Structure 1
Amino acid sequence: MTLTIEVNDLEDQRDREDQRERFVQEAWPLLDQLYRAAWRYTRNHADAEDLVQETMLKAYRSFGQFASGTNIRAWLFRIMVTTWINRHRRTERRPTEVLTEHLADLEFNPAVRQSSITSASAELVALEALGDGDVKGALADLPEGQRMAVFYVDVEGFRYAEVAELLDIPLGTVMSRLHRGRGALRRALVEQSTKRSSAPECART
């Protein structure tokens, strides 16, 4: 009996180690993409870091249920969207809780020690998703539904059906929000360009 228990314990330990290594290899490289999306939701770097951290912790806890070889990016984004929605629902009931348990399971791994949510976000503060300040500003000013549709399709390259699944909305709603969001972006950028081109004339008068 004792030998059987020890063997089972060893197998469980190996399974946990395998799961941890898979998570680091498959999920961790997507950290920057998750942060970009989190910032689009929160509009605040500290809150975005918290959202990504909570997302990664939830993903790690349930990673044993994830089928290797399937779309892990969509799986992680879906966890983040659900986490964001749940945060809104509980905001009025109690302060936001940042989950920290189980981080030790990952911290000792060299690949994880060399990469962190904070360092990723520090780089992305400078880079940001689209690169152009005017476009980023116009995108940030869109209503959330349109902003996220444009972000997921045009920035992150998700298919319409994937975005519908991520946001739990009909495919037609994704297309409608994307159409309106792109139109609003074009109008905003044309307006900014017009103002910039007319500025020298105003300065001369």
Structure 2
Amino acid sequence: MSTPPLTAGKDARFEREALVCLPDVARYALSLTRNQSEADDLVQDTFLNAYRAWHQYLDGSECRAWLFTICRNQFLRTRRRDERALAVDDPELEALAAAALHTSVRESNLQHMFERTEVIEAIESAIAELPLPYREVALMVDVHDQTYDTVSQILGVPIGTVRSRLFRARRILQEKLITHARDAGLGAARGTAVSGEPRSRST
């Protein structure tokens, strides 16, 4: 079935609404591929697919989320995922733990420590090392400010799964950044203690 041609007006709207999201899509693509050349190809395919399907885009929809969905679907089509599927044992408990951890970090010296320019590289490196299911959720929520509901729609998973993966991602990142802070002397300088992590969920 042929794709309906875009009018000049729709062409302009694509440029105005979709192309402005290119930096975010490029960062997201790089987070998926962890390879600049592959990310560039993925971005190109994403916008080509989006352009072809622009007649299906609904006015008033969140264009960035729509592009993220196209990008992720293209990635999954062209590259076999390395990571094993991650089962969610108890989304409700994981969601509560995620909220507790987020509050703990926000109320501790870690929040200030994470904002220091010295640890930006460590944060980027730690995020890049996360398994894909955790990495994409952390990037969408914590970097791109997507809502849980939007991320749930993009990934095609329940909100409980989004919360669970975000909790696990934040826990891994916290451990890596605390290690980095200790190595750099930041934690010792601020007297930061690593004792506020939520209790382990009983099995």
Shorter-chain TM-score tier: 0.5 to 0.7
For structure 2, list consecutive stretches of 5 or more residues without a partner in the other structure.
81-118, 187-203
Larger radius of gyration: 1
Specify the code of the residue in structure 1 equivalent to 2:12: E
Output one character per residue of 1:160-182: Cα deviation in whole Å (capped at 9) or x when no partner.
11111111112111101100110
Q: Which residue pairs with 1:186 in the alignment?
A: 174
- How far apart are the structure 2 equivalents of 1:188 and 1:28? 35
Specify the code of the residue in structure 1 equivalent to 2:34: R
- How far apart are the structure 1 equivalents of 2:161 and 2:15? 35
Q: What is the Cα deviation at residue 17 of structure 1? A: 1.5
* TM-score w.r.t. length of structure 2: 0.68
* 2:23 matches 1:46: no
* TM-score w.r.t. length of structure 1: 0.67
Q: Which residue pairs with 1:171 in the alignment?
A: 159
* 2:47 matches 1:56: yes
Q: What is the Cα deviation at residue 26 of structure 1? A: 0.8
Identity percentage of aligned residues: 35
- How far apart are the structure 2 equivalents of 1:46 and 1:144? 18
For structure 1, list consecutive stretches of 5 or more residues without a partner in the other structure.
1-11, 90-130, 199-205
**Corresponding residue to 2:9 among 2, 18, 32:** 18
Counterpart mapping for 1:41-120 below 5 A: 41-88=32-79
- How far apart are the structure 2 equivalents of 1:150 and 1:65? 28
Q: What is the Cα deviation at residue 69 of structure 1? A: 2.2
Q: What is the Cα deviation at residue 16 of structure 1? A: 2.0
Output one character per residue of 1:87-115: Cα deviation in whole Å (capped at 9) or x when no partner.
125xxxxxxxxxxxxxxxxxxxxxxxxxx
RMSD over equivalenced CA pairs, Å = 2.0
- Kindly indicate which of the two structures has a greater share of residues assigned to helix: 1
- How far apart are the structure 1 equivalents of 2:51 and 2:154? 19
Output one character per residue of 1:1-32: Cα deviation in whole Å (capped at 9) or x when no partner.
xxxxxxxxxxx98x522221111111010000
* Structure 1 residue ranges (4+ consecutive) displaced by more than 3 angstroms after TM superposition: none
- How far apart are the structure 2 equivalents of 1:154 and 1:32? 16
**Corresponding residue to 1:35 among 11, 20, 26:** 26
Specify the code of the residue in structure 2 equivalent to 1:48: A
Q: What is the Cα deviation at residue 196 of structure 1? A: 2.4
Q: Which residue pairs with 2:138 in the alignment?
A: 150
User: How many equivalent residue pairs?
Assistant: 146
- How far apart are the structure 2 equivalents of 1:145 and 1:75? 18
